[in-house]
Amino acid sequence: MNINKRKYLANSVNVILFTSLLVGCGGSSNKTTNTDSTQTTGTTTTPTTGSTTTPTTNPDVNSLGISDIPDELKKTYTTALKFNRYTKVDTPNGSAIHIIAQTDIMDNQIVRARGILQHYLTNLPDSLYGDDKSAVANKMAANNAILLLLNGVDDGTNAGAELGGQPLYYGEMQVEGHTWYINQNYEHRDASFEEILHLVHDYGIGVDQNAQFNGALPNFQAEIRAAQVNGLADKLWAWPQDQASWVAELTAENSLSQEYLASVIDTYYGLWGAFDSQYGMWGMYVAKTRDDLVTTDPQAATLMDNKFFHSYLTYNARIDDSFEGDFSMKFNTSLSYTHHAQYLKDITLTGSKDSNVIVNQMDNDITGNTGNNTVIFSGPSTHYDISKNDGVVTILDLQDNRDGSNTLKDIENLKFTDSVLKTSDY
C-alpha cells in the first residue's frame, strides 16, 4: 500500500493489530535446491528499439537469477542503506525493470516478486488489451520503473523508501508454503500483488487525469476509471465514513483508480477469501472472492474478463523449504490458503523435507525437491493415462474438469484413491 493508504489504515483496528504483530520470518527460503529457469528471464516478446536503462556491468548471477547490485545502481542503492541484491525483468526494447532488495529479504521473496511482475507482463492471447504486452513493458522501462524490496514493515522508518522506486516490505511478502502463507491470518497479509500492480499501473498501463498520459493503454485505463467511479459512487469500495479523509488524499494525488484496481485484483486472485469479515480488503471492498465480483461489482468483473489479467497465476511458485506435508492446489474450505493456491498452476518444491502436492484442475508442471515427494490425484488410477519420457512423467486425467494433465519431474510417488504407484516403475 502507498504511504497515503498507510495513513488511513493506521487509524483502523485491523491495521493496529496487523502492524503490532509483525515479527521476524521463521523460514529459511534462501536454502533451496531446485531452480526454475522460467523465472530468470523476461516474459515479453521480440525486442524493439528504445532507450536502455539496463546497467552496463554484469555481476555474477546465481541459479535463481539474483546477483549483486550493478555498479551503476549501487551508487544510489547503497550498502549503507542495506541494499545488497538485484534481479530484473528484461523488456522487449533491450531495457529492464529493476528489482533491488535489502539485506533481510529472502531469496524466495525476491524470486516471487519477480514472478508476480512477470505474471502481470505475460501476454494473454486473444485478450482485448493483453494480447501483446510489449508496449506496457517497454513503457515501464522507459519510465524507469523500479521495485524496491525493503526490510521491515511500512512504518516510515526505512530510509530506502525515500529513494526512487515502488516499495514492497519484507513483512508483507508471503512465499507459498511458508507459515505466513499457510496460516493466512492477515498478520502478514500478502501485499505483493497490490504493490507490484501499482508499479505496472503507474509506469506501464498509465493513469489518466494527470497533466499528460504517460502510459501504453489509455483505453484500458478509461475502463478502470469508469469502474472506480462507479464503485465509489455506488458504495462498493471505500464507502465507510471513516475512510473519507483517505479518499480525499487519493483524489488529490490521483491514486483512486490504482487503489481500486488493487482491491479488485487482490479479490480476483483469492487473497481475501479467508478474511474474517463480511467484506474484503480490510473491510473496504464489497467483494471477498472471485465469485463475489460478478454479483457485487459486475463492472470490476468485466475488467477481469479477458482484458489484461490471466485467470490463473502464470509464475512457477517455489514452495518454501520449511513446508512439510500436503500442499493443496485444490480449493478446500478447511485450508485457508487454498483461497489463493487454487489459482496456482506450476510449482517447484524446494529444500529436502518430504512434501506432497494435491493437484487442481489445471495442467500443472510440478517439480520435486531432494526429499520424498508424492503427487495426489482425485480418482482411481484406472481413470488416468500415465506415460514417461526422459525421466518426465505425465499423468492425464481421462475425466474432464478434474485433475487436468500434470507433468512431473523428480517426483517419486503417485497417489490415487485406490493405490500408490512409484514413478520409477514407468
Task: Please give the DSSP secondary-structure letter assigned to residue 87.
Answer: E
Q: Distance between CA 120 and CA 202 in Å, rounded?
A: 13
Question: What is the arithmetic mean of pLDDT over 269-284?
Answer: 97
All three cell numbers of 402, joined, read 478434474
pLDDT over 70, % of the chain:
86
Does position 292 have pLDDT exceeding 90, yes or no? yes
* Percent of the chain as helix, strand, coil, to the nearest 5: 35, 20, 50
Task: Tell whether pTM > 0.85.
Answer: yes
- What does DSSP say about strands 83-90 and 96-102: parallel, antiparallel, or unpaired? antiparallel
Predicted local distance difference test score (pLDDT) of residue 161? 97
* pLDDT grade for 56, boundaries at 50, 70 and 90: low
Q: Distance between CA 292 and CA 187 in Å, rounded?
A: 24
Mean pLDDT is lowest, of 24-28, 208-212, 350-354, for 24-28
Model confidence pLDDT, tens digit, residues 186-213 = 999 999 999 999 999 999 999 999 999 9
pLDDT over 90, % of the chain:
86
* Structural Rg of the chain based on CA atoms: 21
Closest C-alpha among 126, 55, 63 to residue 88: 55
* pLDDT grade for 19, boundaries at 50, 70 and 90: very low
* pLDDT grade for 347, boundaries at 50, 70 and 90: very high
Q: Distance between CA 99 and CA 9 in Å, rounded?
A: 26
Q: Distance between CA 30 and CA 289 in Å, rounded?
A: 32
Distance of CA 287 to the CA centre of its chain: 19
CB burial class (10 A; 0-12, 13-18, 19+) of residue 364?
Answer: buried
Q: Distance between CA 126 and CA 308 in Å, rounded?
A: 10
* pLDDT grade for 413, boundaries at 50, 70 and 90: very high
- What does DSSP say about strands 413-415 and 313-319: parallel, antiparallel, or unpaired? unpaired
Predicted local distance difference test score (pLDDT) of residue 173? 98
Predicted local distance difference test score (pLDDT) of residue 59? 83
According to DSSP, the residues that pair with 396 across neighbouring strands are 385, 405
Predicted local distance difference test score (pLDDT) of residue 155? 96
* pLDDT grade for 408, boundaries at 50, 70 and 90: very high
Provide the mean pLDDT of the chain: 89
Q: Distance between CA 176 and CA 318 in Å, rounded?
A: 7
Give the CA dihedral 169, 175, 178, 179, nearest 10 degrees. Answer: 50
Residue count (the chain): 426
